[in-house]
Structure 1
Amino acid sequence: MKQTLIFFCLLSFLSFEKIMAQDAKTLTHLLLQKKLITQKEADSLETLMTNSQKTAPENKEFAIGLEFRPRTEYRNGYKQLRTDDSKAAFFTSQRSRLNIDFSQNQFKFHTSIQDIRVWGQYGQTSTSGSLNVFEAFAEVGILKNFSIKLGRQKVELDNGRIFSAANWSQAARAHDGINLIYSNKKIHSEFFTSFNQTSERIFDTDFSPTTFSNYKLLNIHYLKAKLNKNFSLTTINAADSYQSKTSSNTLYTRATSGGRLDFEKGNLYLTLSGYYQFGQLQSGNRISAYYFQPEIQLKTNQLTTRFGAEIMSGDNADKASEISKSFVPLYGVAWKFMGNMDYFTSFPTDVKNGGLVNPYLFFTYDVNQKISLRSDFHLFYLANKVNNNLNQNINSYLGFENDLSLHYKCNGFTMIDFGFSYMTAEKSMETLKGGNSALTPMWSYLMITFKPELFHFKK
């Protein structure tokens, strides 16, 4: 009889007092006052309810967010030099994304549906479109600090030079694969692996690389370690494999190994990154190339100054070799490092295998919490000898670029970006990019980004 009374009392308390068993002491005190239980029974009940709270599932969370990003561009020398007959380009592109997130204890799901288009690309009554899935992955917790992420996902590591989501591109970049993630207070480690096919198959794994230029196999290990108060170390070891264009049974693998050492103290930041590339290219030729990036950064009040250089090895046009010396920055972003005008994005094609040296000086001035101004200065030099059409060595100095930009944060979900870039190109740039170096290349853009949260539910 007593147990029945206790049960109804407990049910009444949970229903009408709406405390949902989160205050065990209050409930047991009430039962003791009514002399429905003894002190010993109260202690047992309190222990039971406290333990049940510890095993209760964590709250579930569901959110829907929007990203709407139109960008208008004026191009008159973007990516390649102007000619006497060329005319400026003017257009607006647009990215629309719907981001959906769900999470609960030891489980997360994210998908991003996007539409990419140029205004006027599709007719008023067109049924064509560019709707696709940018990301769609699930992340499951396996052990403490250890999880596995499966599906289409961004691979953005370190500063984005070797692996980046390339967010400036309206389409951006994502990979299909599996990512094993381990993270604690001192280290963060990821191992990403991907095996690609162009379609479902019954037999064989022929990749048809003549019609689809993507890697067949990719393995990456990324490690970020905090060495002490001032130093941190990052390592990236990657191997991407391409199927031979003549034999489906042959796989050529290129390996890239290296990392970054950082030092930070107060307003001073020093870093040095370096990578070595070896193995085989898709053509079957061997590669032995390197990349270095030293940089110093200083913050003083509202001004941030960065001074550094990128050095990419290249081939000597006067010395034929079966081993390529041209470094390729894999699946990273270029405009962030080598100028917004994108003259050097496809390596080694854009430098005719000559490599590149890019000394730079960046200034960022925060006017206030909403407005920041930036000016980037670049000098471009060939790292090795390149010949013109007359088989003569060209001058290694290619030109100078200045990128000016303004960023304005209107509110928590609206940003406006404006940029203007120009270049003074040397005669030697004509060998790489054609056109007339006497005509000043220019490029400008205006971009508005809206990123509001449309819906957020937490239980």
Structure 2
Amino acid sequence: MQNVTNLPKHTPLKKHTIFKNNISKSIVLGFALTFFSQYDAKAQFTASAQLRNRVEMRDGQGTLQQKGEEAALFSTQRTRLNVGYSGYRFKIFTALQDVRVWGQDASTINKTTTEVNNGILFHEAWAEISLVDSLSSIQNLSIKAGRQEISYDDQKVLGALDWLQQGRRHDAIVFKYANKGWIADVGAAFNQNKENNAGTIYNGSNPAYGAGTNGIGTLYKSFQYAYLGKKFSFGDLSFLFFKDDFNKYTMVTAGTPAVTTKVNGEGVWSRNTTGFYFNTNVTKTINFTGSLYHQGGRDKDGRSLDANLASITSTVQIGKKLFVGPGIDYLSGDDGTKTVTATSKNNRFDPLYGTPHKFWGGMDYFYAANGFGKQGLLNYFFKMKYNAKENLTLLLDVHSFESANTLSNGAGGTLNSYLGTEIDLVVKYNLTKIINLEAGYSFMKATNSMASAAVKNVTNANLSPQFAYVMLNIKPNFLAKK
């Protein structure tokens, strides 16, 4: 056979044949890779995505506005690409996420705008290793390490906060056990700003994270927790112990003119949250859920803590489509008539890293990282859910909010503890199994107490705020069988 490399340059036929052969090999290889990857994907790979667009009209949402201020209108988008792989005694999962406001980037993105507005990050990136093989009688015994969502029970104190486009996640390691209806998890996290050669001081600031609920403004340096749950014939019962630690600091005044700055030092202040959750079916049509938590230790500023949360919700099924029920939440707070000092006890319960939007109104006035007042909260509510069709659901919530403690008027007197009434209406429609449409409208009739310096501190406030949104949610599973 003639050596191809020694052929004269005027023999294009052979050269063309070689080119065609290379193309053929590439096509065959491509088909083979596609075939085997699809074959493996059905057994081991998962690949899905989410595209969630939400248009919001805010006219006092989150905080009261002054009279005459214009409403805000904007659109946000969450984009997620989820890829998972399961092998023998291990799982790996990543969720790449981008969150942006439409128009925050120029139509031609340059280096500066990319650095300032970059919303791309890994929402989740974890590996889970099984400590038992498939023949074990134990359902699950594993270690899960990496960036992950941590959610338990009704998500009142620990939740993924899915309402926020950016969500919530933690860099943590969790030891997981599950068997015969029992669930036992033990987890821990330890944060640092960067790689250090000496010391473990952490400034508690990380713009990639929502620091917590209720405007806490400081991310934990570390946490440790234990969760124990059991499924019974009558319902679920669980216990949670969660300790989060905050870097100690001192306030130092120096210079001319004098400037006071926060200086972090070694050591931590630890906050302990302990409590129970239950979910029980009294009859086939009556359900009760409730929780009771206590907070002790020290808060992020070193103040001694003594705070409580108590909650109960009832649900009654009427017919096949209607679910209704009243409930009440109590979160303790400080007495507004007493002066708060660095050494005074803190009675303000903070619902940790939960999902406040789910419980305390769609307007997000309370415990939603907005610096709600320190006097605690009483939330009397009535909820209704109506499954009009298989793909159409109507939700109606009515909240009556009160301060759990006395409100001071700042002049030696007190204010009415009633803060306002809020109505939330939500419509959910599933166009397909993949495409969901949702629309919501919230209206609140607030009081002067709500606008006072003891709570929101807004002068000449508009006491009839409103909020509306429309959301499109598309969640394809790329490897699902059609």
Fold equivalence (TM over 0.5): yes
Q: Once structures 1 and 2 are overlaid, which stretch shifts more, 300-309 or 203-212? A: 203-212
TM-score, with structure 1 as normaliser: 0.83
* Residues 95 and 257 of structure 1, relative CA distance in 2, 3 Å threshold: same
TM-score computed with the length of structure 2 as normaliser = 0.79
Query: What is residue 311 of structure 1 aligned with on the other side?
Result: 330
> Which of 1 and 2 has greater Rg?
1
**Residue 201 of structure 2 aligns to which amino acid in structure 1?**
D
Name the amino acid aligned to 1:339: G
* Aligned residue runs from structure 1 range 352-371, under 5 A: 353-371=374-392
Alignment equivalent of 1:125, drawn from 95, 108, 112: 108
- Residue 189 of structure 2 aligns to a residue whose secondary structure is strand
* Amino acid aligned to 1:334: P
Match of 2:349 in 1: 327
Q: Secondary structure at the match of 1:287?
A: coil
> Which amino acid letter does the alignment assign opposite residue 315 of structure 2?
Q
1:448 aligns with 2:472: yes
> Which residue of structure 2 lines up, in the alignment, with residue 197 of structure 1?
192
Question: Structure 1 438/178 Cα, relative in aligned 2: closer, same or farther at 3 Å?
Answer: closer
Q: Distance in 2 between matches of 1:106 and 1:94?
A: 36
1:375 Cα shift?
A: 0.5
Specify the code of the residue in structure 2 equivalent to 1:305. V
Question: What one-letter code is carried by the residue in structure 2 that aligns with 1:233?
Answer: L
Deviation readout 1:376-430 (Å, 9 max, x if unpaired)? 0000000001213434311100000000010001111000000000000111111
Q: 1:276 aligns to what?
A: 294
Instruction: Tell me the distance in 2 between the aligned counterparts of 1:209 and 1:71.
Output: 30
Kindly report which structure 2 residues correspond to 1:12-411, keeping only aligned pairs within 5 A, or say none: 60-127=43-110, 128=114, 129-143=118-132, 144=138, 145-209=140-204, 213-226=218-231, 228-246=232-250, 247-264=264-281, 265-300=283-318, 301-320=320-339, 322-346=344-368, 349-351=371-373, 353-411=374-432
Does the 8 Å CA contact 1:106/1:142 hold for their aligned counterparts? Answer: yes
Q: Which amino acid aligns with 1:232?
A: D
C-alpha contact (below 8 Å) 2:54/2:470 kept by paired residues:
yes
Q: Does 266-275 or 163-172 show the bigger shift?
A: 266-275
**Is the contact made by 1:381 and 1:399 (CA closer than 8 Å) also made in structure 2?**
yes
421-430 vs 74-83, which moves further: 74-83
Q: Does the residue aligned with 1:350 lie in a helix, a strand or coil?
A: coil
In structure 1, C-alpha distance between the alignment counterparts of 2:59 and 2:324, rounded to whole Å: 29
Match of 2:27 in 1: none
Q: What is the RMSD of the two structures over their aligned residues, measured on CA atoms?
A: 2.0
TM-superposed CA distance for 1:184, in Å, is: 1.4
Alignment partners' CA distance in 1, 2:418 and 2:327 = 17
Alpha carbons of 1:452 and 1:210: their partners in 2 closer, same or farther (altered >3 Å)? Answer: closer
Residue deviations 1:180-222, cap 9 Å, x none? 1101132111111001111111111111247883101101111
Q: Residues of 1 paired with 2:459 and 2:396: CA distance?
A: 26
Aligned partners of 1:435 and 1:97: how far apart in 2? 41
CA displacement 1:60-106 (0-9 Å, x = unmatched): 41121110001000111111223223101000000000000111232
| Distance in 2, Cα, partners of 1:406 & 1:443 | 14
**Counterpart AA for 1:371:** L
Contact 1:344 1:350 in 2 (8 A): yes
Q: 1:315–1:324: 8 Å Cα contact kept in structure 2?
A: yes
Q: Is the contact made by 1:82 and 1:440 (CA closer than 8 Å) also made in structure 2?
A: no
1:429 aligns with 2:450: yes
Give the drift of 1:311. Answer: 0.1
Moved more, 168-177 or 206-215: 206-215
Matched-pair contact (CA < 8 Å) for 1:429–1:437: no
User: What is the distance in 2 between the residues matched to 1:225 and 1:454?
Assistant: 35
Q: Which amino acid aligns with 1:159?
A: D
CA distance in structure 2 between the partners assigned to 1:85 and 1:161 by the alignment: 35
Partner SS state of residue 297, structure 1:
strand
Note the residue ranges of structure 2 that are not aligned, 5 or more in a row: 1-39, 133-137, 208-217, 251-263
Task: Tell whether the 8 Å contact from 1:426 to 1:437 is kept in structure 2 after alignment.
Answer: no
- Aligned runs of 1:1-12 on 2, under 5 Å? none
Shift of 1:59: 8.3
Please tell me whether the aligned partners of residues 328 and 347 of structure 1 are also in contact (alpha carbons under 8 angstroms): no
Write the distance in 1 (CA, Å) between the matches of 2:202 and 2:273.
23
Percent identity over the alignment is 31
Contact 2:78–2:98 under 8 Å retained in 1: yes
Deviation of the 1:259 alpha carbon: 1.1
Q: How many residues align?
A: 399
Q: Residues 205 and 444 (structure 1 numbering): CA distance in 2 closer, same or farther, change over 3 Å?
A: same
Distance 2:69 2:222 in 1: 41
SS in structure 2 opposite 1:429? helix
8 Å contact from structure 1 (residues 113, 133) kept in 2: yes
Q: Which is worse superposed, 257-266 or 186-195?
A: 257-266
Q: Which runs of 5+ in 1 are unaligned?
A: 1-56
Distance 1:82 1:249 in 2: 41
